[in-house]
């Protein structure tokens, strides 16, 4: 019997991971010396820095591919400082480009401003004069967190957990700013069920390209609200976001299954995301997928999940098939639901066409699961492999083209030309999310 899924599906292909694009606002003309006088009048020129070391920092990002040098780096101590800077450029006879830099985790220079000004959002976080992280409850919208755009998601997690709450949609890597990921959508393995991060925002305060401070939501300044969310920073700097919260689970049942057949792999992925109701208790909370190839070590930061004793078996299987496809799923639970989680996982995964004997699971804390990339980051840093070029690519592939993509790109290019030793992720999401 054919399976019919209620919503059109797109596959998210990440060569090799979710990255963040950082906002660029203002005008692109070159900054000329007279602007210094105007900034001095606005009492913010002392927050501009042109030390060689600071300029070097602002001229590179996580991609280590593009290098653009600003004339200065602006270190604000308040949101008003940023508004004043942008307004000064907008009203100037010699306007200059402005780029807001959070963690510098862009990969192709999106956080840079050649001959302009880079705003160091990390300084705002240190000053704590902007909005930090506060948890509240509304009779209609429920619990939410008001979060400064400069804040890190890892800090949002720890703060909201103190209230027994958490956001429902995350990126794989948590040491990114809230404003950065909301400018780029914020997509990960929870998106099929809960939508990307931008689908879980009630309201924002935005500094526009004119330097105006505007509050927007689905009920107020709607056009700006939807333009800024996922707008790659082209419509303003996010000063504050009101993020939806739900009760936080305590633990996670984390499962990986290996496939040698790509059709079976994607078919099973689509079947699992079709059980996607946000309130459905029997649905998965997380689903991703990845490629395993001999280009990379079996014990890299994503595949260290597998027990060492099974590495020879997995390596032999990769040699036999050239590529294995790993389906990764997770279901959250707490003390009340712990007794049923194993049975629910068994029911959800029943009938899947993975290779018999290649089923792996872990039980970990909720924080450990969400922050799983951090340990890999620290390991790569110790090996000098973190601050290296990252020519990464993220693509949306229509469901109708994903099988061709596997044969023409994964097999004929990535595999045959041996062009990638990093992680390659591929997983579906529902278009209605």
Three-state SS for 77-139 is CCHHHHHHHHHHHHHCCCCCEEEEECCCCCCCCCCCCCCCEEEEHHHHHHHCCCCCEEEEEEC
| C-alpha–C-alpha distance, residues 403 and 335, integer Å | 41
**Are the CB atoms for 205 and 82 separated by under 8 Å?**
no
**Are the CB atoms for 148 and 154 separated by under 8 Å?**
no
Domains plus CATH for the chain?
Answer: 9-16+250-430 (3.40.462.10), 24-124 (3.30.43.10), 127-247 (3.30.465.10)
**Are the CB atoms for 380 and 3 separated by under 8 Å?**
no
**Are the CB atoms for 15 and 423 separated by under 8 Å?**
no
Provide the 3-class DSSP secondary structure of residue 299. Answer: coil
| C-alpha–C-alpha distance, residues 347 and 331, integer Å | 12
Provide the 3-class DSSP secondary structure of residue 173. Answer: coil
- The per-residue pLDDT for 31 is 41
Task: Choose, from 150, 288, 328, 390, the residue flagged as catalytic.
Answer: 288
> Phi and psi at residue 361, in whole multiples of 5°?
-145, 155
Kindly tell me the sign of the dihedral angle through the C-alpha atoms of 226, 230, 234, 240.
positive
Pull the structure tokens for residue 329. Answer: 């799923």
Q: Judge whether 172 counts as a catalytic residue.
A: yes
- The per-residue pLDDT for 431 is 84
C-alpha 387: how far from chain center: 18
Pull the structure tokens for residue 165. Answer: 């709450």
**Are the CB atoms for 69 and 116 separated by under 8 Å?**
no
**Are the CB atoms for 168 and 143 separated by under 8 Å?**
no
- The per-residue pLDDT for 2 is 39
* Residues contacting residue 50 through CB under 8 Å, at least 6 positions apart: 71, 72, 73
- The per-residue pLDDT for 308 is 87
- The per-residue pLDDT for 433 is 76
Tell me which H or E stretch contains 333: strand 323-333
Task: Choose, from 81, 150, 155, 172, the residue flagged as catalytic.
Answer: 172
**Are the CB atoms for 48 and 96 separated by under 8 Å?**
no
Q: Starting at the earlier edge strand, list the strands of the sheet with 133-138.
A: 133-138, 142-148, 237-244, 201-207, 213-217
Residue 155 is given by DSSP the state H
Task: Choose, from 68, 105, 202, 203, the residue flagged as catalytic.
Answer: 105
Pull the structure tokens for residue 406. Answer: 């596997």
Q: Are strands 97-101 and 24-26 parallel, antiparallel or unpaired?
A: antiparallel
Per-residue pLDDT of the chain (433 residues; tens, 9 = 90+): 334 444 456 666 665 433 333 333 443 334 444 455 556 556 788 899 999 999 999 999 888 899 999 999 999 999 999 999 999 999 988 889 999 999 999 888 888 999 999 999 999 998 765 458 999 999 999 999 999 999 999 999 999 999 999 999 999 999 999 999 999 999 999 999 999 999 999 999 999 999 999 999 999 999 999 999 999 889 999 999 999 999 999 999 999 999 999 999 999 999 999 986 666 778 999 999 999 987 665 555 456 788 889 988 998 999 999 999 999 999 999 999 999 999 999 999 999 999 999 999 999 999 999 999 998 888 888 888 888 888 888 899 999 999 999 999 999 998 888 776 678 899 999 888 7
Provide the 3-class DSSP secondary structure of residue 336. Answer: coil
Residue 152 is given by DSSP the state B
Q: What angle do CA 327, 161, 289 make, to 5 degrees?
A: 10
C-alpha 8: how far from chain center: 23
91-107: buried (b, 16+ CB within 10 Å) or exposed (e) per residue?
ebeebbbbbbbbbbbbb
- The per-residue pLDDT for 299 is 52
Q: Which residues are bridge partners to 324 per DSSP?
A: 292
* Residues contacting residue 335 through CB under 8 Å, at least 6 positions apart: 250
- The per-residue pLDDT for 209 is 95
The pTM is what? 0.89
Tell me which H or E stretch contains 429: strand 424-430
Provide the 3-class DSSP secondary structure of residue 360. Answer: strand
CB atoms within 10 A of CB 137: 11
Tell me how far CA of residue 90 lies from CA of 34, 74, 112, 137, in angstroms.
14, 16, 18, 38
């Amino acid at each position: 019997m054919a399976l019919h899924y209620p919503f059109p599906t797109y596959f998210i292909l990440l060569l090799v991971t979710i990255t963040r694009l950082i906002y660029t606002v203002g005008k692109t003309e070159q900054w000329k010396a007279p602007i210094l006088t105007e900034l001095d009048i606005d009492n913010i020129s002392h927050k501009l820095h042109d030390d060689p070391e600071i300029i070097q920092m602002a001229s590179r990002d996580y991609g280590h591919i593009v290098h653009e040098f600003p004339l200065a780096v602006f270190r604000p101590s308040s949101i008003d400082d940023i508004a004043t800077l942008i307004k000064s450029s907008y009203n100037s006879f010699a306007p200059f480009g402005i780029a807001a830099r959070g963690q510098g985790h862009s990969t192709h220079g999106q956080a840079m401003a050649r001959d302009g000004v880079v705003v160091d959002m990390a300084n705002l976080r240190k000053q704590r004069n902007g909005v930090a992280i506060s948890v509240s409850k509304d009779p209609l919208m429920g619990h939410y967190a008001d979060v400064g755009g400069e804040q890190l998601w890892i800090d949002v997690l720890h703060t909201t957990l103190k209230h027994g709450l958490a956001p429902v949609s995350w990126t794989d890597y948590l040491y990114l700013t809230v404003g950065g990921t909301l400018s780029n959508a914020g997509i990960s393995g929870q998106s099929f069920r809960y939508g990307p991060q931008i689908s879980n925002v009630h309201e924002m305060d935005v500094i526009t390209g004119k330097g105006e401070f505007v509050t927007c939501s689905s009920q107020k300044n709607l056009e700006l609200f939807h333009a800024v969310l996922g707008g790659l920073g082209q419509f303003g700097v996010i000063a504050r976001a009101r993020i939806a919260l739900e009760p936080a689970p305590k633990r996670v049942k984390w499962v990986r299954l290996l496939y040698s057949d790509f059709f079976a792999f994607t078919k099973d992925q689509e079947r699992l995301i079709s059980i996607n109701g946000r309130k459905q208790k029997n649905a998965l909370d997380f689903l991703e997928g990845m490629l395993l190839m001999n280009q990379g070590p079996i014990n890299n930061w994503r595949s260290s999940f597998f027990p060492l004793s099974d590495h020879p078996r997995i390596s032999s299987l990769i040699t036999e098939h050239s590529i294995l496809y790993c389906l990764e799923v997770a279901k959250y639970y707490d003390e009340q639901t712990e007794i049923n989680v194993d049975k629910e996982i068994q029911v959800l995964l029943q009938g899947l066409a993975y290779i018999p004997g290649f089923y792996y699971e872990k039980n970990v804390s909720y924080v450990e699961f969400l922050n799983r990339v951090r340990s890999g980051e620290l390991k790569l840093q110790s090996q000098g492999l973190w601050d290296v070029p990252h020519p990464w690519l993220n693509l949306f592939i229509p469901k109708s083209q994903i099988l061709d993509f596997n044969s023409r790109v994964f097999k004929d290019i990535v595999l045959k030309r041996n062009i990638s030793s990093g992680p390659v992720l591929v997983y579906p999401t529902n278009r209605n999310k």
